[in-house]
Amino acid sequence: MSSCIGELEDAKPRKMDFSRPRGATPAIPSDACCGDKPPYKNPHHTQKAFEVMNILRKQNLLCDVTLVADGVEIAAHKMVLASCSPYFYAMFTSFTESKAEKITIQGVDGQALQLLVDYVYSSEIQVTEDNVQVLLPAAHLLQLTDVRDACCEFLQGQLHPSNCLGIRAFADLHGCLELLNYADSYTEQHFVEVVESEEFLALSPTQVCKLISSDKLAVPSEEKVFEAVMSWVNNDLPNRQDYLAQLMEHVRLPLLSQEYLVQRVEEEPLLKSNHLCKDFLIEAMKYHLLKGEQKIMYKTPRTKPRTPIGRPKILLVAGGQAPKAIRSVECYDFKEERWYQLAELPTRRCRAGLAVLNGLVFAVGGFNGSLRVRTVDVYDPVRDQWSQAPSMEARRSTLGVAVLSNCIYAVGGFDGSTGLNSAECYDVRAEEWKTIAPMSTRRSSVGVGVLNGVLYAVGGYDGASRQCLGTVEQYDPDTDSWLPVAEMSARRSGAGVGVLDGLLYAVGGHDGPLVRKSVECYNPETNAWTSVADMMMCRRNAGVIAVDGLLYVVGGDDGSSNLSSVEVYCPKTDSWSMLPSFMTIGRSYAGVAIVDKPV
């Protein structure tokens, strides 16, 4: 028996002896080696533990509380809820609910509570259009700030002119300051589209006042603000006409054109019958009578120009010759640094002019591959759609197009048989074209630009004398007359024209077979042209546009082939660089414009 016991004792595991034999080197003190190797840590431990707790919850095992909302009952563990939500932490450590087995959560949607409890255990939640409106207030109440922020981020991505006012009110109600500020900024930047929505017409008088008083409204002119106010008042005239004076206090009538004041504002019956509104109108008329420094010194809240924070811009390129007339429209996103396609023109069009007015792009005249045309197509960047506007009085291709005093001017061009010295302008409100005074000479392939309220016709080709032109003349809309200014240093037909920092640039062009890469700029104060750095490539019939202090020269041709490249001029360094991203095709005679990036 004793032998058996001895065998069993021998079989017992013996404690390992880590002591050192006599004469061995003394062991290093434990406190000196504790940093050599960190403690073991399982990176998946917490995740697996929560997964197991979630399984137990779904089987209603070891749960110690049931949450109730809108008749929905959800089993859970107090410890888990308290560890993730300050709301539940306070409830289960400081209030009587800490001992309750069933707790009703007031003011929370049952579906939202279920999703949030699932999130506490899984760290995942799907925010959708269907649940965001109940999920955000529930997350806010339970102080699950990361879920609330995810909801705000989702709503921020859903902003549109038709819903931004509603989202703004929702953010304000639930204390989402970042979303609130973003929605405010979005509304200001998209004011023109926002005022067309039902949400705008449903605003209170105080809300309308707050919106139109902002200095940051992005509006092409103060006309849009005036018309928005009148639209809001007329939507419920019996109950809103008494607020008209309160609203007009924030409309900057002095910034309207004198013509619009006389023809539209002064003739508005609601303003005529309101004494305070008539005072605002008199103030505006008085402002227009002031000259020079008097106007600068005369300051009221209504004479302060609005300074909107710029919306992201895109460079739009429409139609062109590649090598035949095309319908293709593409744009360059400055932020994303890439080109992408937009809705095509209704018909093929090259040698047209592009103008931007009230957020719309007008493609005027041109050549459709067989005929010079009078037609005008209109592009809406918000809807990515083209429509038609009234046609010009004359057929014009290779014309110059510009916007001056809220009218579109079409200058010179070629009608299929002869070059033109005539010009006409389009009144958007009246939706009609009218002829203006002719230029002193025929100019096809003419470049135009507007500087200091005056329109300039630069170079071109005189079919009568069969020569490219270096002459330049300016049009004053107040006197309906053209006057010559200093000639360029070189003859330029098909030159691109752009305006930047108070100077008028003439870019490239040709003189007979000679295609130029030279560039010069005109200073109206000195009535003189000055040469600047040459482009990197020879270009004629290129599109030229200015944005953010830079001049962009788009496509064109070098005399032998169409170009897909874009050059950029920086006046501060007097240097050119090439845009790294090329258009999808080479284009000459294309129209170019800068517009706000669509939502």
Summarize the confidence of residues 364-390 as an average pLDDT. 94
Provide the domain limits for residue 494: 313-596
Summarize the confidence of residues 1-11 as an average pLDDT. 42
In angstroms, the CA 17 to CA 5 distance is: 24
Strand partners, 522: 504, 529
Confidence of residue 406 (pLDDT cuts 50, 70, 90): confident
| CATH code of the domain containing 221 | 1.25.40.420
Both tokens of 28, joined, read 């290093």
Q: Is the peptide bond before 323 cis (omega within 30 degrees of 0)?
A: yes
Are residues 281 and 336 located together in one domain of the fold? no
Q: What local confidence, expressed as pLDDT, does residue 35 receive?
A: 55
Q: Which residues contact 586 (CB under 8 A, 6 or more apart)?
A: 322, 555, 557, 561, 562, 563, 564
Q: What local confidence, expressed as pLDDT, does residue 15 receive?
A: 55
Lowest mean pLDDT among 9-18, 201-210, 292-301: 9-18
Are residues 446 and 362 located together in one domain of the fold? yes
Domain end, chosen from 273, 297, 321, is at: 297
Domain end, chosen from 271, 297, 323, is at: 297
Q: What local confidence, expressed as pLDDT, does residue 17 receive?
A: 54
In angstroms, the CA 407 to CA 402 distance is: 8
Q: What local confidence, expressed as pLDDT, does residue 46 receive?
A: 87
In angstroms, the CA 282 to CA 260 distance is: 14
In angstroms, the CA 226 to CA 242 distance is: 16
Give the global pTM.
0.59
Q: Angle at Cα 398 formed by Cα 393 and Cα 404, nearest 5°? A: 65
Angle formed by the axes of helices 145-158 and 132-141, nearest 10°: 150
Are residues 66 and 107 located together in one domain of the fold? yes
156: left (phi over 0), alpha (psi -120 to 50) or beta: alpha
Q: What local confidence, expressed as pLDDT, does residue 181 receive?
A: 92
Summarize the confidence of residues 418-437 as an average pLDDT. 94
Q: Angle at Cα 320 formed by Cα 316 and Cα 321, nearest 5°? A: 155
Summarize the confidence of residues 334-348 as an average pLDDT. 94
* Interior/surface letters 564-578, b for 16+ CB within 10 angstroms, e for the rest: bbbbebebeeeebee
In angstroms, the CA 300 to CA 184 distance is: 25
Are residues 232 and 322 located together in one domain of the fold? no
Are residues 124 and 271 located together in one domain of the fold? no
Count of domains observed in the chain: 3
Both tokens of 359, joined, read 């957020």
Q: Provide the percentage of residues in the chain whose pLDDT is more than 70.
A: 93
Q: Is residue 236 part of a domain?
A: yes
Highest mean pLDDT among 105-109, 145-149, 180-184, 565-569: 565-569
Summarize the confidence of residues 34-44 as an average pLDDT. 81
